[in-house]
Amino acid sequence: MTGDTEWTVRARHPKNYQTPYGEVNVERNVYQTSRGGKIYVPLDAAARMVNRATPRFAKMLSNKYARFNANGFVSDLAENHGRRISKAAVQNVAQCVGAIAAVKEESWEYSTPKLKQAVNSGSKSSYSAKCILVPTIRSITTGIPSFLVLDVPSLGISTRRAG
């Protein structure tokens, strides 16, 4: 029972899940209301499955997909892990991970670091970023801002060139 909705067991349905160690077939309970319609699978919800991938495999996939492309990930997985997976499966999981990140990004708050000393006008700032393009979803950019203070005499630090 979830909320006011009562679910009954519809069937035990086998499904293949992708893990970092290989594909696993799991027989799981599938629930549905007496009115029919959408099914509910507690295993998928409780284990946080991402489009037939375990969270660990989805994390591994999205990390490598951000560095390579789908073909690069497929060949890396085959060479280093002895795993075969289709390019379409990689793209589907990556798209789901991107959608999850986009939804969570709306509630994230970033705090600015507390500086011991104000940055003077001779400072430079930059932003190191990695952009992940996710089809049908806006791009997701991750990165770390950095500041370079050129001259801080009170701390005995100077990055100015002599002469």
List pLDDT tens digits, range 17-71. 998 888 999 998 889 888 888 888 888 888 888 888 999 999 988 888 888 888 8
Query: Mean pLDDT across the chain, nearest whole number?
Result: 76
Q: What is the pLDDT of residue 162?
A: 44
- What pTM was estimated for this model as a whole? 0.58
Q: What is the pLDDT of residue 27?
A: 92
Q: What is the pLDDT of residue 119?
A: 62
Helix (H, G, I), strand (E, B) or coil at 74: helix
Close Cβ partners of 72 (under 8 Å, ≥ 6 residues apart)? 64
For residue 93, give both structure tokens. 């999981």
Does residue 150 or residue 64 have the better pLDDT?
64
Q: What share of the chain is helix, strand, coil (3-state, %, to 5)?
A: 30, 30, 35
